[in-house]
A and B are shown apart, each in its own frame.
Chain A
Amino acid sequence: MQLDNNQLLRFTTAGSVDDGKSTLIGRLLYDSKSIFEDQLESIENTSKKKGHDGIDMALFTDGLRDEREQGITIDVAYRYFTTPKRKFIIADTPGHIQYTRNMVTGASTANVAIILIDARHGVIEQTKRHAFIASLLQIPHLIVCINKMDLVDFSEEVYNNIINQFEEFSSKLLVKDIRFKPISALLGDNVVNASENMKWYQGSPLLSTLETMHISSDINKIDARFPVQTVLRPQREGFIDYRGYAGRVASGIYRPGDDVTVMPSGFTSKIKTIDTFDGEVKEAFAPMSVSITLEDDIDISRGDMIVKTTNKPEAVQEFDTMICWLNNSSARPRAKYTIMHTSNEQKAMIKEVLYKIDINSYAREEENKDLAMNDIARVKIRTTRPLMIDEYRDNRITGSFILIDDATHETVAAGMIL
């Protein structure tokens, strides 16, 4: 089965077991034949041991012993399935408030977020939290699945009421594409096959939406950004003078002959070749890994960025950003951290916390400015040397960063530049 033009789609599912999230994932995997007999057998055995009737699909997504014992999800788990149209990666994250950091992690690379709402309960705090994180992380597409429609007699009225509830608060968010689907993950209605019980619903089932939705235009093709990861200098026969700048295109399109500027030095040159192991290419675009050679000998190293001379990012040492705190130890006022932004690493300081956001009510909190695990806040960051940044809403690669605590080497915060 060679799928030549098939794309990869990454989606995140946030929710708790009660929403039927595991059932939904289980159904997608099962109906696409991605659950194997020995896995099913092992889940059946454990389900029996625990005294469940039937198969507990949650066991399939819980990977660690503690998770299985306690019946909770602790960490992001990645799941895979393929249909004749696409390959899918699911970042399955727990939905509890104490796991905001996992939701943020799963959301950071997703093309699509699936939010589950229990049709009996409608919009709850958790729904707002998930929608907020999808918006904060600028996931381009949001699919709101109103699940357990079988328990509300497949009522169109219930479905429409929940859409209204959702739209009341989602107007405050920055999500470009929101779609709604009435489903029953348990019975399979509108998951893989169109529902016989909800003829009033004209849209397509969840899987066919995931298979066909247009995602290639979500990548920024305007602002050419190429962070240099490393310099290739083979020093061997045939390549004595070769000097290739290796990296992955963050955004935009590069072609041989393009006028480029190297930042932060500001030197200019032209692209000579764009090389790969399989030969030179005429064009490079995100997310291709290539190596670029230039017409001129310029001093370039890891952390530099090759951009088009006509379209440069800002080089700044101070900027406003949203951050999510990811660590057990709270932020220390004016403490120094290592900031990792593309391939560039500098020292940084949180100069000021402007406000925190209550992700359940979306209200600003300006009194208490201590940053603890799972807090989301707007802060000012200052760095020792310039970073070449774009706004996160324009560029998820050059607009994002992490902070690392030099005392523990742990990743303590994730940032989305404003």
Chain B
Amino acid sequence: MSKYYLNYLDELESEAIYILREVWAQFQNPVILFSGGKDSILVSHLARKAFYPSKIPFPFMHVDTGHNFPETIQFRDDLVKELGVQLIVGSVQESIDQGRVAEEKGKNATRNSLQITTLLDAIESNKVDCAIGGGRRDEEKARAKERFFSHRDDFGQWDPKNQRPELWNLLNGKHFEGEHFRAFPISNWTEMDVWNYIQRENIKIPSLYFAHQREVVWRSGSWIPVSEHLKLEEGEEIHSKKIRFRTLGDITITGGIESDADTLAKIALEVSAMRKTERGDRSDDKRSESAMEDRKRQGYF
């Protein structure tokens, strides 16, 4: 006799496909926010499944901070070509040059929150009414309260206390002109689920996720890669370490961990034994207790 239930990965996959198809059916001009990180790669993979044998019907939108890992950009360009989708790039450098935002000053300056303006500008100028993201509820406490379909007002802002209730599988994407939605098809996936699924489906990911030798400095509890953007502080030394990255943000703020995990199976094993959250090595989240909530309210990913 057949079993008439799905295992948990198949159920998560099916849920994500359902959400992606709802986005396609309910919006005029949706895009996939593509960062080159594993979560947005996963969303692209699921979108491919959702619309097969058609091509992915969404363009990819990338917010380029100018502080990327070169490997990420190469990976992005290869994938876009393989999938035959359109790529829209919003450039933080252009936002700076146009005077829309000013570069942060001081010791821990990053371009992280500058992305918000570039992202919202790109959404507005491309008339995007739904931006699909790879955010997951297990990532961060403010994200735990996100909906699958999350409303943004005409300033691109999120009002967490006034969210639409989301019942059963009924997703309400109705909006007025100028407003937009964020859709999160992998809301219910955990970091472990993502790795188990990437391994099962043998999904291609950037080499940065695998253990490799790299020049790094030790800063606020993790190994920050040496790059043209990194200014050495007093007492900091460059080391060569075998490291890998658990998440990929800007090269200036993403810390690596020492690791020998150089295959998907070894990564999954390593992640299952981790005692720190993956964003624990991201200095953008360490700024305050509500750092993520504050950025999300303004329109962050």
Contacts and interface: CB of A to CB of B under 8 A. Distances in A.
Contacts of A105: 165-167
B200 A2 contact: yes
A311 interface: no
Given A8-B8, A235-B54, A326-B165, 12 more contacts: A3-B196, A36-B274, A38-B276, A63-B143, A64-B161, A64-B293, A66-B161, A109-B168, A229-B18, A288-B6, A396-B168, A414-B167
Nearest to B13: A289
A5 B53 CA distance: 28
Interface stretch (B86-94, B123-131, B185-193): B185-193
16 contacts: A1-B196, A1-B268, A8-B6, A38-B277, A76-B145, A108-B168, A229-B18, A229-B21, A229-B25, A234-B54, A236-B55, A287-B11, A287-B15, A289-B14, A302-B25, A411-B166
Contacts, number: 192
Interface stretch (B73-81, B134-142, B254-262): B134-142
Contact of B192 (A1, A248, A253): A1
A366 interface: no
Contact of B172 (A102, A234, A340): A340
Interface in A68-87: 68, 74-80, 82, 86-87
A242 B53 contact: yes
Nearest to B294: A65
A409 interface: yes
Closest 5 CB pairs of A and B: A216-B5, A63-B141, A277-B49, A409-B174, A289-B17
A409 B180 CA distance: 12
A230 interface: yes
Interface in B1-16: 2-8, 10-15
Contact of A74 (B18, B21, B161): B161
A89 interface: yes
Contacts of B8: 3, 6-8, 86-87
B160 A64 contact: yes
Interface in A1-19: 1-8
Nearest to B51: A232
Contacts of A8: 6, 8, 11-12
B264 to A, nearest CB: 11
A175 to B, nearest CB: 18
A252 B80 CA distance: 38
Contacts of A123: none
B265 to A, nearest CB: 9
A165 interface: no
Contact of B54 (A79, A219, A232, A285): A232
Interface string B30-60: 0000000000000000001111111100000
Interface stretch (A199-207, A354-362, A398-406): A398-406
A397 B50 CA distance: 20
Contact of A64 (B10, B145, B193, B276): B145
B53 A402 contact: no
A411 B168 CA distance: 13
A80 B172 contact: no
Interface of A: 1-8, 36-39, 42, 46, 62-66, 68, 74-80, 82, 86-87, 89, 101-102, 104-105, 108-109, 215-216, 219, 221, 229-230, 232-236, 238-239, 242, 244, 246-248, 253, 275-278, 283, 285, 287-289, 302, 326, 338, 340, 343, 396-397, 400-402, 404, 409-411, 414
B4 A397 contact: no
Interface of B: 2-8, 10-15, 17-18, 21-22, 24-25, 48-55, 137-138, 141-145, 160-161, 163-170, 172, 174-176, 187-188, 190, 192-193, 196, 199-200, 268-269, 272, 274-277, 280, 289-290, 293
Contacts of A275: 52-53
A25 to B, nearest CB: 12
Contacts of A253: 4
Contact of B14 (A5, A102, A104, A287): A287
Contact of B167 (A3, A277, A402): A402
Given A2-B200, A5-B7, A404 B172 contact: yes
Given A8-B8, A63-B145, A64-B142, A80 B168 contact: no
Contact of B2 (A65, A80, A219, A283): A283
A1 B172 contact: no
Contacts of B48: 277
Contacts of A101: 165
A63 B25 CA distance: 31
B190 A402 contact: no
Contact of B138 (A5, A46, A80, A221): A80
A283 B190 CA distance: 29
A8 B48 CA distance: 24
B170 A38 contact: no
Given A2-B199, A221-B4, A276-B49, A402 B18 contact: no
A356 B293 CA distance: 38
B5 A7 contact: yes
A338 B280 CA distance: 44
Contacts of A409: 172, 174-176
Contacts of B3: 5, 216
Contacts of B290: 64-65, 68
Contacts of A230: 21, 24-25
A396 B167 CA distance: 11
Given A63-B144, A233-B54, A400-B170, A80 B160 contact: no
Contact of B6 (A242, A287, A400): A287
A108 B167 CA distance: 6
A79 B174 contact: no
B164 to A, nearest CB: 5
Contacts of B176: 409
A108 B233 CA distance: 53
A66 B297 CA distance: 13
A46 B172 CA distance: 36
A54 B11 CA distance: 38
A80 B4 CA distance: 24
A170 B143 CA distance: 36
Given A36-B276, A396-B168, A411-B164, A219 B21 contact: no
B276 A37 contact: yes
